[in-house]
Amino acid sequence: MRKFESVDGQMLIGGVRATEIVKKYGTPVYVTDEDAVRSNYRAVFNAFDKRMPARINYACKANTNLAILRILEQEGSCIDAVSIGEVEACLRAGFTPDRIMYTGVNVSTAELKAVAARRVPINIDSFSELERLAMIDPSLPISFRVNPEVGAGHHEKVVTGARSTKFGIPKDRIVEAYAEAVQLGFRPSGLHCHIGAGVQVADPFVKATEVLVSIMQSIEKELGLRLDFVDIGGGIGIPYHPEDHAMDLDALAEGVTSLIKNGTSAKRIVVEPGRYIIADSTVLLTTVVDVKETPDKNFAGVDAGMNTLVRPAFYGSFHHVAVANKFDRPAEATYDVVGPICESGDHLAKERALPRVEEGDVICVYDAGAYGFSMASNYNMRPFPREVLVHKGTVNLIRERETIEDLMRNQRIPSRLML
């Protein structure tokens, strides 16, 4: 969890007072510190690249804001995309097709055609996808996603590498998949897996890499096929709780690269962090609009809810919160921070010790950059919020707030209902 500076009891984000951002842009508003994005990218790239040639495919499903994609393009990042929409966003942000890897699941033929038309390499998830792509364009660069039967993650809903999940080709059929690909005219270049999200220890990644190395050895022995890269996927977690420790990137990188270098002829490792790069670079600022005391709880009612940040309601996720305009004051009471959505599960934080909260105070929700805006919704007909980027004391608007009119623009009432 990032540490923030304060001046006169006011929280600073990238050298700017949170209250100044709120005064200019209103709330709710997502605020990203550009320097934090760049620093996080460099940390993960350097940890792996100093051990063997590395490619970082930013998992853009975490956050697809075009300004953030531009920052990462400038840093030399590549992309892990899971939809044609993400592919198109990354192309518009300046990424060339060869710097994007498309890894879909249950991909329609229409989407396969769209990705292939843009000459984006495809990471194949099933035999069906392989056979349909062969009819579209067998010259396209491909790799395969295997289910390694090694799963991990912060919640059961984000575990992707377990045997029972929908992702990847079963481990016992993956060599068969490469053989069929060669027969269909493809030249597969790599092997990929993804174990889950929010993993805080290196061991599951090491176990999954052992599986990948064993598979690559079988592919080379049985098919005579040498693959160029090993992709260990993403899922590197961050410390959401103040007392949590960050992932030891050097230990992780050493554990997996030593296996790849000693056990395969692969020339490159690919890693797909999303959360690690973007989560702690961004906070959500929201205004207290109502304070309610009940016999059981104190509620700090704010103007952001599960429509703005769904992770606490969806996964039971923890996000640290602070009162940005009372940043240096001691805690005086315990509050649930709750939103305006008509659901009892609409909470951002539960049982948090905070300074005495008043209407007009600004609550800062930490670590909101990953799966914050990207999982937001219009539930209860509430528009998406603004996003701003701070950089060394300057603030830029990078997404305008939606309007009510935006929500209704694409709806149509049949003429017979107007009679």
Selected catalytic residue, list 78, 90, 193, 342: 342
Domain extents for the chain?
Answer: 6-32+280-408, 34-278
Q: Is 78 a catalytic residue?
A: no
Three-state secondary structure of 219-285:
HHHHHCCCCCEEECCCCECCCCCCCCCCCCHHHHHHHHHHHHHHHCCCCEEEECCCHHHHHHHEEEE
Residue 153, pLDDT > 70, answer no
Residue 47's SS3 state is helix
Domains 6-32+280-408 and 34-278 share a fold: no
Q: What is the mean pLDDT of residues 120-127?
A: 97
161 pLDDT band (50/70/90 cuts)? Answer: low
196 pLDDT band (50/70/90 cuts)? Answer: confident
* CATH class entry, domain 6-32+280-408: mainly beta
Average pLDDT of the chain is 94
Q: Which of 95-109, 136-150, 192-206 has the lowest mean pLDDT?
A: 192-206
CA dist., res. 330 & res. 178, Å (int):
60
Q: Are 384 and 401 in contact (CB under 8 A)?
A: yes
Q: Are 57 and 101 in contact (CB under 8 A)?
A: yes
The CATH code of domain 34-278 reads 3.20.20.10
* pLDDT at residue 166, rounded to an integer: 83
* pLDDT at residue 115, rounded to an integer: 98
- Closest C-alpha to 382, from 403, 360, 368: 403
> What sign does the CA torsion over 296, 297, 298, 299 have?
negative
- Closest C-alpha to 319, from 275, 273, 283: 283
- For 8-65, how does the pLDDT look when each residue is reduced to its tens digit (9 = 90+)? 999 999 999 999 999 999 999 999 999 999 999 999 999 999 999 999 999 999 999 9
* pLDDT at residue 159, rounded to an integer: 53
- Closest C-alpha to 68, from 48, 96, 95, 98: 95
Q: What is the mean pLDDT of residues 217-234?
A: 95
- For 295-345, how does the pLDDT look when each residue is reduced to its tens digit (9 = 90+)? 999 999 999 999 999 999 999 999 999 999 999 999 999 999 999 999 999
pTM for the model: 0.95
Encoded amino acid at 230, one letter: V
CA dist., res. 55 & res. 78, Å (int):
7
